Amino acid sequence: MERNRIAAQEVQPFEQEHTAKVRELAPECMVLLQNDGTLPLAPGGKLALYGSGARGTIKGGTGSGDVNVRHFVNVEEGLENAGFQITTKAWLDAYDQAVYEAKKAFFAGLRKQADELGVNPVMLSLGKAAPEPEYEFPLDGEGDTAVYVLGRISGEGSDRQPVEGDIKLTKTEVRDILALQERYEKFVLVLNVGGMVDLEPVKGVPAILLAGQLGTPTGDAVADVLTGRAYPSGKLTMTWAPIEDYASTEGFGHPDDTDYKEGIYVGYRYFDTFEKAVTYPFGYGMGYTTFDVQAGTVTVEGGTVSVTASVTNTGGAKGREVVQVYYSAPAGQIDKPRQELAGYKKTAELAPGQSETVSISFPVADMASYDPARGAWVLEPGVYAVRVGNSSQNTCQSGAVLLEEEVLTEKVRNFGGDPGFADLKPEGGAAAEAPAGAIPVDTSAIPCKEAVYSELPEELAGQDPCTWQEVVNGEKTLEDFVAGLTDEQLACLCIGAYKDSGDLLEVIGNASSQVAGAAGETTNWLQETGLPGLVMADGPAGLRLSVQYTVEDGNAKGGTSLSGDMFLVFTPEELAAMAGPQAADQEPGETYYQYCVAIPVGTGIAQSWNDQLAEQCGSLVGREMEQFGIHIWLAPALNIMRSPLCGRDYEYYSEDPLLSGRMAAGITRGVQARPGRATTIKHYACNNQETNRYFSNSNVSERAMREIYLKGFEICVKEAQPYCLMTSYNLVNGEHTCNRKDLMSDVLRDEWGFAGVVMTDWLVTGGMGPRGSKWPCASAAGDVKGGNDLTMPGIPSDKADILAALNDPGHPYALTRAHLQQCAKRVLEMIQKLA
């Protein structure tokens, strides 16, 4: 592919346009948690600004999801751009110094530990955040308004901790926030966090804005909302409660086995069913105005439930409201949660006094539960109450649907294995109110589907080799091409492009020779056939590439890009040796630039509860993919937020599968509307902790998998057909997901109709974590056998394992050429589609 290389260092028009677009969308992603009228603030004048996120603003988390930008706007800069005079420069300077010392000491400790253990310091410090220090600086900034920005970072490789300085506020933070609230006439707490923080000690603060992490224009967007230039209209996508109260907290982060004993009772499904108090419920968020949501009608026609609601802006400012529809299924043989989200819709902008009638529809079959005993999705008989409102805890019943008999909506094969325990169940189940006038459903309008499972296709008989050009010209078929490949060529197609030797670290997040900083490529070992390669780059908060690179022998070379504060584990000399080409060392014209724009993190996008916004974000990324020659984006990530302790929650969307699936579908539509660009939904599945992530086994019941952990993937596949999917690092019930034929072939392809390529997460077959774990690495041969087409990024032992399995019937994942051909063909079809 002829690349459009940018040799100028100047800001490019696309950067300006995309930054402006993200700034325009960002207020929809912010959730106003409290407001007594303090917000919005009058713009300009003196402002006392405090807190870890004020200058040290976090635009997104660390790890592969960290986008390398030219510059991003911190809150201090954003407020200054908005005309405020910041009166607390001394406080901010003192904080900078204190936090720098704390980080230096923390990372020096990690380095010492790595040296003692003889492990690479990058692996040990991946995703680690230095704990917030305690300090005491005078809170004496001038002005009658103070803003305190609380920041928290987390990332790939480490989980969050249920301690002060992470999930909980430090003593210093609590003390300062409470003091500031007393001292200033107006006080606002802004949360620059990627996930939940326990706000119980400061809940009385009258104005709290969850700004989140919004990418390149974060500070400007925060200033826009604080000053009322824009209004917030986001809603929480996860329940906020004290960490001890989540059903998933006990046992979280065990290095070997995590038991998902709460079953389907994740997030609000748990808190509402078991009547546990929360700090802020799922779906909650205020605006600068108030809304009245009146339930309208509930009707059922041809197996579809339709609900209307009328929304009126009853306050004095503009705003948008999110109407949410929940249903309560009757508890019969199968226990049911108190309620589940069935649909949602965001209104257009409403002026004071203006109304909109919103209509939300969903199939009756969507209310089915999974019964593992019968291997079927079942609608049990009884009353299905339908509620409408603007958070999971602020709804009113608007109608009910009556099923007079049981309906099986789909019959499938059992899968997944035994987690070794019975799931949590509420006593007595959820009691749905049975109102008069429940609408009977014509059950004949709900067909029962029966899944059909495919067999391995026959081996294609050997043929003379042909070239890729002959396939492109239509002189040969793809089957001819596959049939002409040697075993070794087939094996190469089933793994990413690899170097025969080298440091494994070189291939983490930087394994492409075509685009510097891209995470991987399809094989470069079939060049004699003229086969092009596909380039893959990370996300989900934008496109992750090296910011500058040179081209040597046709290969792009960028520097190692570390994420977060990880550079502090290295000495200045080590850093200099690792650095990529510096513009100053090069002849003019030899250095090229790839400054991408960071979009809001996944959680931020989902907090908009606006599928179109997700699509617009996808479209921005798709345009940058075109600009830099990326075919496959390694995003979106839609693992369920099982616990706020998961270090990568900020990349994910929600504790609810419907919202997660619809956001991923929106992003996918945005990217894939551009010909030749693909998304990769990840990490399939039950990748809900980072601790010992290559060897962590999630024990989960089949019901919880189907209703919660796989559901979002199913929705996205059926709605948007993402071209690629990435399996996860973790095992499920004792086997690596990428080796599980049931997950990839039976469920993903045969039941849902996924038609694309499945790839592994990076280096799952050559585990990078501490050895001596209970569980082994995944097998590359197992990938091929299970239908995981590509083992990424591809290391020599993967090829060896596949070839060994082909010739050895005693191999635990013994292969035939037909297995290899099946995966290779799917990779080639993708190349045909995208290259």
Q: Which residues are catalytic?
A: 761
Residue (570 or 633) nearer to ligand BGC, CB = 633
Residue (642 or 819) nearer to ligand BGC, CB = 642
Residue (88 or 791) nearer to ligand BGC, CB = 791
| Phi, psi angles (nearest 5°) of residue 488 | -65, -40
Residue (49 or 605) nearer to ligand BGC, CB = 605
Q: State the DSSP H helix or E strand holding residue 799, giving kind and residue range, or none if neither.
A: helix 796-807
User: CA torsion sign, 788 to 691 to 199 to 565?
Assistant: negative
Residue (331 or 536) nearer to ligand BGC, CB = 536
124 binds ligand BGC (CB under 6 A): no
Residue (69 or 820) nearer to ligand BGC, CB = 69
**Which residue in 621, 620, 657 sits closest to 638, CA to CA?**
657
Q: How far is the CB of 549 from ligand BGC (least distance, A)?
A: 17
Q: How far is the CB of 763 from ligand BGC (least distance, A)?
A: 8
- Considering only residues 144 to 163 of the shown chain, the ones binding ligand BGC according to CB under 6 A are 156
**Which 3 state secondary structure label does DSSP give 726?**
strand
682 binds ligand BGC (CB under 6 A): yes
Contact (CB, 8 A) for 432 and 383: yes
Residue (318 or 682) nearer to ligand BGC, CB = 682
**Which residue in 520, 665, 671 sits closest to 606, CA to CA?**
665
Do the bridges between strand 376-379 and strand 394-403 make them parallel or antiparallel, or are there none, so unpaired? unpaired
Q: How far is the CB of 790 from ligand BGC (least distance, A)?
A: 12
AA letter at 820: L
Tell me, by CB under 6 A, how many residues bind ligand BGC.
Answer: 9
Question: Which of 383, 519, 717, 831 is the binder for ligand BGC (CB under 6 A)?
Answer: 519
**Which residue in 323, 312, 322 sits closest to 398, CA to CA?**
323
**Which 3 state secondary structure label does DSSP give 529?**
helix
Q: How far is the CB of 822 from ligand BGC (least distance, A)?
A: 24
Do the bridges between strand 548-552 and strand 592-593 make them parallel or antiparallel, or are there none, so unpaired? antiparallel
- Considering only residues 260 to 319 of the shown chain, the ones binding ligand BGC according to CB under 6 A are none
Q: How far is the CB of 722 from ligand BGC (least distance, A)?
A: 14
Site mask for ligand BGC (CB under 6 A), range 530-569, x = bound: --------x-------------------------------
CA atoms within 13 A on the CB side of 36: 11
Residue (471 or 508) nearer to ligand BGC, CB = 508
Residue (391 or 730) nearer to ligand BGC, CB = 730
Q: How far is the CB of 628 from ligand BGC (least distance, A)?
A: 16
Which neighbouring-strand residues pair with 357?
Answer: 310
Residue (167 or 634) nearer to ligand BGC, CB = 634
**Which residue in 56, 115, 117, 194 sits closest to 565, CA to CA?**
56
**Which residue in 714, 720, 688, 687 sits closest to 368, CA to CA?**
714
CA distance 465 to 471: 11
**Which 3 state secondary structure label does DSSP give 81?**
helix
Q: How far is the CB of 61 from ligand BGC (least distance, A)?
A: 12
- Considering only residues 733 to 792 of the shown chain, the ones binding ligand BGC according to CB under 6 A are 761-762
Residue (364 or 605) nearer to ligand BGC, CB = 605
In Å, how far are 388, 626, 657, 753 from 239, measured between CA atoms?
A: 18, 37, 14, 32
Give the distance between the most distant pair of CA atoms in the chain. 83
Residues in CB range of 764: below 8 A, 6 or more apart = 694, 727, 729, 736, 738, 777, 778, 791
CA distance 178 to 176: 5
Per the structure block, which two tokens stand in for 700?
């989960």
Residues in CB range of 747: below 8 A, 6 or more apart = 412, 415, 710
SS3 content of the chain, % helix, strand, coil (to 5): 30, 20, 50
Question: Which of 241, 403, 634, 717 is the binder for ligand BGC (CB under 6 A)?
Answer: 634
- How many other C-beta atoms lie within 10 A of the C-beta of residue 222? 29
822 binds ligand BGC (CB under 6 A): no
Residue (561 or 619) nearer to ligand BGC, CB = 561
Q: How far is the CB of 537 from ligand BGC (least distance, A)?
A: 9
User: CA torsion sign, 243 to 245 to 246 to 249?
Assistant: positive
Q: How far is the CB of 523 from ligand BGC (least distance, A)?
A: 17
For the chain, helix (H) and strand (E) counts, in that order, are 21, 31
64 binds ligand BGC (CB under 6 A): yes
Q: How far is the CB of 294 from ligand BGC (least distance, A)?
A: 43
Residues in CB range of 813: below 8 A, 6 or more apart = 739, 779, 781, 782, 784, 785, 786, 805
CA distance 495 to 511: 13
* ∠ Cα 610 611 613 (to 5°): 70
- CA 223 from chain centre, in angstroms, equals 26
Question: Which of 509, 559, 622, 722 is the binder for ligand BGC (CB under 6 A)?
Answer: 509
Q: How far is the CB of 303 from ligand BGC (least distance, A)?
A: 38
**Which 3 state secondary structure label does DSSP give 307?**
strand
642 binds ligand BGC (CB under 6 A): no
Q: How far is the CB of 258 from ligand BGC (least distance, A)?
A: 17
CA distance 217 to 620: 14
Q: How far is the CB of 748 from ligand BGC (least distance, A)?
A: 18
Q: Which residue is it, tokens 């933070």?
A: 173
CA atoms within 13 A on the CB side of 801: 21
Residue (126 or 169) nearer to ligand BGC, CB = 126
CA distance 129 to 690: 14
**Which 3 state secondary structure label does DSSP give 666?**
helix
Do the bridges between strand 304-313 and strand 291-301 make them parallel or antiparallel, or are there none, so unpaired? antiparallel
Do the bridges between strand 731-732 and strand 735-736 make them parallel or antiparallel, or are there none, so unpaired? antiparallel
Residues found near ligand BGC in the complex (CB under 6 A):
64, 156, 509, 519, 538, 634, 682, 761-762
